Chain A
Amino acid sequence: MNLTQILFEALESLNSNKMRSGLTILGIIIGVAAVIAMLAVGSGAQNEITGSINDFGTNLLFIFSGNEQVEVRNPRPLTLKDAEAIGDPFFAPSVGLAAPSINGKHIVTAGGKETSVAVNGITASYAPVRNEVVGEGEFISEAHVFERASVAVIGPETAEALFGRQTGLLGETIRIEGQPFRIIGVLEAKGGTMMGSQDDRILIPLSTAQSRLEQRDTIDTVDVIFIQAVSSEAVLQASEEVAQVLRTRHRTAIGMDDFTIYTQDDFLSTAESITGILTIFLGGIAAISLLVGGIGIMNIMLVSVIERTREIGLRKALGARKNDILIQFLAESSLLSLLGGFIGILLGWALSFLIEKISIAMGSPFYPSITLDSVLLATIFSLVVGLFFGIYPSNRAASLQPVEALRYE
């Protein structure tokens, strides 16, 4: 018999027992849909968190002064000169850009309103390193830093707090600790992260911050140096090179670093271990539903085995070979499993869509993401379960002498 005929007869047979076929399919649908929806939620959560970490910047390293691991005598602060040396491709070829910054919290006033805001003194390279985008106006330039210009780029939340709007602010004046600054740009919103809101802050030229806002003993001191490695593969290499440069410049003994380097991967791996647990948990629930679905399939297949055994006996009495029987059941089981798997995928997709819509309606948008892995996993599992429990009893029945199968009750 050719393939189309086999499939046609399998369809005929499934169609002639709609109840049994329907129940079997139902088990597969539920299992597959559950797996897909659960894993979609898990990987949605993962995307959310890694996405917000990537908003910090790309291929990013952070250098802080001080070292929590060891007690260092006479630690030296990070300086602008350090940043320049790190940014020099001769000393650190894996470093693309180095962006020093000094951070403070200051009282800011505008138009009678007052707020306490993080004010970061930065250079022009800060924007590419930290993925900063101005929605309106321009970013702080090298000229601004050179001239110690009294200009500011403000975050959208800060703008909202001071002016009640986020547009049309260019040229307005704000006062930081009483000193006037002209607004030259407004940042685009980034949303909150584990490190607090990135939308409520003010960026000013580093030189201006040093001379006007900070009273520091060493004029050159900076708080953080952000570094962008030339590529994602070069991040570790960059970290090594930076450490080397700083050790030389600070004359520290081995193992007595007076600075600390974090890579973005350090944050990512922490976050991933958290979402990993979430995914395992959801995956566990999904596996249980697959198991329940599988047991459902098994039950129905086994319950029908009495009827099917007599049928097999009869077919053998009429001349069916063992392979004829196996092919027939293989065709029936795979049709059932594939159909159930297909509907299950659609249902799982619909569930994920529903979760997304509900989360949006409830005001905390969440985007489940269906991965190919979960689709493959669910499909293969349901196929295997369906085939195994379809084939195993029929194989046993097909191996009986016809007379035994006919007598089976």
Chain B
Amino acid sequence: MTENVITTKDLVKTYQMGDIQVHALRGLSLEIKRGEVVAIVGPSGSGKSTLMNILGCLDRPSSGEYRLDHVPVAGMADDQLAEIRNRKVGFIFQSFNLLSRATALSNVELPLRYAGNIAGRRQIAEQALAAVGLEQRIDHKPYELSGGQQQRVAIARALVNDPAIIIADEPTGNLDSKVGQEIMDLLMSLNREKGVTLIIVTHDPKVAARAGRIIRIIDGVVEAAQ
């Protein structure tokens, strides 16, 4: 029995839109173990992205508890959260979110800069790019790369600080299914080789099928865990 890397209890997220309150999460509890591959599925608007943003410490819940790597995250100051994002979390976005004017290498180096890591930065970033099969493209700008290659750069960037979890919100959503499967192959192999915990939001059943576990979210709560 391995330990939990993520534990949430009664997460609530409410958005105030003028007079209307939007309840994106309504008391969501879940547990994810270290080294797991979890797919998060559910209808559009059910709160998947909201949950991912909270799990990745990009946003704060309105109420509820969240422990990441045994650390209660809810009450932390902004700068402490920044450090958690930097060291414990790797993000992969649907729209890649690379700095368009920087090279692949500079993009991958970015998390290392904020980790205060100066010596050997370039080498570490090069290794991460090699790990995603892009050693030939380190000096390319994002617009000189295909969508799949851009997502590989994003994966290298997510990996570079050796995070405990990788959070991917529809990582294959902007890619065709063949390239999407290649990206999934890559993520799965990273999970196998480095033991990194993967949490993937997806609408694609083929992607979800590769996960060890599927969590279905409906209307801001977990419907069933298998």
Q: Tell me the A residues contacting B by CB distance below 8 Å.
A: 1, 5, 9, 12-13, 16-17, 310-311, 314-324, 401-404, 406
Cβ contact within 8 Å between A318 and B78: no
* Contacting residues, chain B, for A1 (C-beta < 8 A): 113, 116, 118
Cβ contact within 8 Å between B114 and A317: no
* Contacting residues, chain B, for A16 (C-beta < 8 A): 101-102
Main secondary structure of the interface of A (DSSP, over half): helix
Cβ contact within 8 Å between B82 and A316: yes
Cβ contact within 8 Å between B59 and A401: yes
Cβ contact within 8 Å between A318 and B60: no
**CB nearest to B49 among chain A residues:** A403
Please name 19 further chain A to chain B contacts, defined as beta carbons within 8 Å, in addition to the given A315-B114, A403-B53, sorted by A numbering.
Answer: A1-B113, A5-B118, A310-B97, A311-B99, A314-B97, A316-B82, A317-B56, A317-B97, A319-B83, A319-B86, A319-B87, A319-B115, A321-B79, A321-B82, A321-B83, A401-B59, A402-B85, A404-B59, A406-B97
Query: Tally of A-B residue pairs with Cβ under 8 A?
Result: 63
Cβ contact within 8 Å between A318 and B58: no
B66 close to chain A: CB less than 8 A = no
Cβ contact within 8 Å between A318 and B86: yes
Q: Tell me the B residues contacting A by CB distance below 8 Å.
A: 53, 56, 58-60, 78-79, 82-83, 85-87, 91, 97, 99, 101-102, 106, 110-111, 113-116, 118, 157, 161
Q: Which of B60, B85, B114 has the most chain A CB atoms inside 10 A of its CB?
A: B114
Min CB–CB distance B208 → chain A (angstroms): 24
Residue in B58, B79, B87 whose CB lies within 8 Å of A403: B58
Cα of A321 to Cα of B157 in the assembled complex, Å = 18
Cβ contact within 8 Å between B118 and A318: no
Min CB–CB distance A192 → chain B (angstroms): 62
Min CB–CB distance A104 → chain B (angstroms): 83
* Contacting residues, chain B, for A310 (C-beta < 8 A): 97
Cβ contact within 8 Å between B157 and A318: yes
* Contacting residues, chain A, for B101 (C-beta < 8 A): 13, 16-17
Cα of A303 to Cα of B101 in the assembled complex, Å = 17
* Contacting residues, chain B, for A317 (C-beta < 8 A): 56, 58, 85, 91, 97
Cβ contact within 8 Å between B79 and A318: no
* Contacting residues, chain A, for B99 (C-beta < 8 A): 311, 314
* Contacting residues, chain B, for A12 (C-beta < 8 A): 106
